[in-house]
Structure 1
Amino acid sequence: MSTVTTKDGVEIFYKDWGKGQPIVFSHGWPLSADDWDAQLLFFLGKGYRVIAHDRRGHGRSSQVGDGHDMDHYADDLAAVTGQLELQNAIHVGHSTGGGEVVRYLARHGDNRVAKAAIISAVPPLMVRTDANPGGLPKEVFDDFQAQLATNRSEFYRAVAAGPFYNYNRPGAKPSEATIQNWWRQGMMGGAKAHYDGIVAFSQTDFTADLGKITIPVLVMHSEDDQIVPYADAGPLSAKLLKNGTLKTYKGFPHGMPTTQAETINADLLAFIES
């Protein structure tokens, strides 16, 4: 397997296919690079070099007990892009991966990066605070941790079969294969990484990070996102970015790169080639 070893000794697994301008994909919690299958194959077919890694503690990367925070996530991404000597890259992040991309750009700069896109992403801040009254109560995320600690397998099954893909909406037609693939990816990773990751994706404030980014960023978010509610995420991120563009969808789920891959891929391609 292809891996990068970080400064603190963590092995980060990655896929690196094709040639041409690189597109780097950062996945959501608690998944792996496999969640980008539809995008990797599409953009590979369009002549791009596609790269996707498993976040520390997720998928095939080391199941370490610490470092499950946005600074480490960003530094791990920098270790991958550095070893591969990427230039003029496009970075695409989904959900927690969107936060990872934002922190990476703010922390490591954009000298290697041409553009970025964040999809259903957690910035600016998910949890409710005095400064972020539209956020979700901390108790919501405390409950996520409690369910994970009690029965991670059952919890993951419920997330995938329900709100992640909007399979709990009236008239929805759940795909058992999609649900099982989400569960499979989640169970590949480590419980400690996923437990800590809930704090990382919900309590990290990306407000200052967004203001530091100058490259073009496409913010893609659905008004029917049940995991990262639209009003306190996509529109606010787009406003904080110096060169941000908001693309809003109606009726799409949080996991729209999978269930609505044709639309998402076309919109990403149009942005990259613009």
Structure 2
Amino acid sequence: MENNFTSGNQSAKPEYIQTEPNVYLRIRDYGEGQPVILIHGWPLSNEMWEYQIEHLVKNNFRVITYDRRGFGKSAQPWDSYDYDALTDDLKAVIDQLELTDVVLVGFSMGGGEVVRYFSRHGGTNVSKAVLISSVTPFLLKTEDNPEGIPQEKNDEMAKQIREDRIGFLDGFGKDFFGVGLLNKPLSTPLLEYYRNLASCASPRATLECAKAFSTTDFREEMVTVKVPTLIIHGDTDKTVPIDISSHKAAKLIPDARYVVYEGSPHGLFYTDKEKLNKDLVDFINS
């Protein structure tokens, strides 16, 4: 897969990156300039960044996105969906594209890969980081994390996915974007589009990655993020509540700038796209 190239003006850029003998990642690589890697959230694919890619390219950045293993058009192995494996995939992207001075942007589950890249790979070739609606530092309720989400709730979500994955995704998407009786921040066709993106994921990967982001404890790893970091979170996020995530992350990362989007849901990459795009460009250029 390493020699599979796209056509046209992207002919010099690979369409797939092979990270293991039987694992390849679908990759998109646009523009020129400082590289910005956009890591998508669960259970979507790289297409979620549609409204960020064009803006960043127009602002003279090289924008790289990829489908996480098990999602989108990437390979769907049966196992290896913990954060070590996922972060090794990220390192393979950086190494094989020979990237330096990278800005890592992780949304939701993708925030875990950003943090793990620093603790596992020393943050090599990364100069800035952005965490958007991120699951870090630790979501699970334990004796020393009493505000977290009970395991019983995670078990119920897994049960719903096993019984009717598409039905689960339909309801999940409404909470994801803050859709209610009086609040409709996106059209019904667009909401269905995001549901369809999520439906393309491997059922196994959907479950295994949910286990990873809901139970992985990044608390001791947060201090390893020793680059300027922007943290963005909506204060009405029902998917990853802000109090148990970014409120804590902002205190644990040494050089963090914390921005709260008032009234914004989890999926602010769409609902607040203009504000988010401006904040990304301003931060990268700062």
TM category (shorter chain) comes to: over 0.9
Relative distance call for 1:174 and 1:39 in structure 2 (3 A) is closer
Q: Matches of 2:57 and 2:189 in 1, distance apart?
A: 24
| 2:88 corresponding residue in structure 1 | 75
Q: Matches of 2:53 and 2:25 in 1, distance apart?
A: 18
Match for residue 170 of structure 2 among 137, 157, 165: 157
Runs of 4+ residues deviating >3 angstroms: 169-174
Gapped regions of structure 2 (runs ≥ 5): 1-5, 7-14
Match for residue 199 of structure 1 among 211, 214, 217: 211
Matches within 5 A, 1:42-191: 42-160=55-173, 162-168=174-180, 170-191=182-203
Q: Matches of 2:121 and 2:253 in 1, distance apart?
A: 17
Q: Matches of 2:28 and 2:145 in 1, distance apart?
A: 37
Gapped regions of structure 1 (runs ≥ 5): none
| 1:221 corresponding residue in structure 2 | 233
| Secondary structure at 1:6 match in 2 | strand
Q: In the TM superposition, what is the alpha-carbon distance from 1:173 to its structure 2 partner? A: 4.7
Report whether the alignment pairs 1:36 with 2:16.
no
Aligned length: 273
Q: Matches of 2:256 and 2:80 in 1, distance apart?
A: 30
Identity, % of aligned pairs?
36
| Secondary structure at 2:20 match in 1 | coil
Report whether the alignment pairs 1:26 with 2:39.
yes
TM-score when scaled to structure 2? 0.93
| Secondary structure at 2:164 match in 1 | helix
Confirm or deny: 8 A CA contact 2:118 2:124 kept in the other structure: no
Relative distance call for 1:9 and 1:171 in structure 2 (3 A) is closer
Q: Matches of 1:5 and 1:229 in 2, distance apart?
A: 35
TM-score when scaled to structure 1? 0.97
Report whether the alignment pairs 1:236 with 2:248.
yes
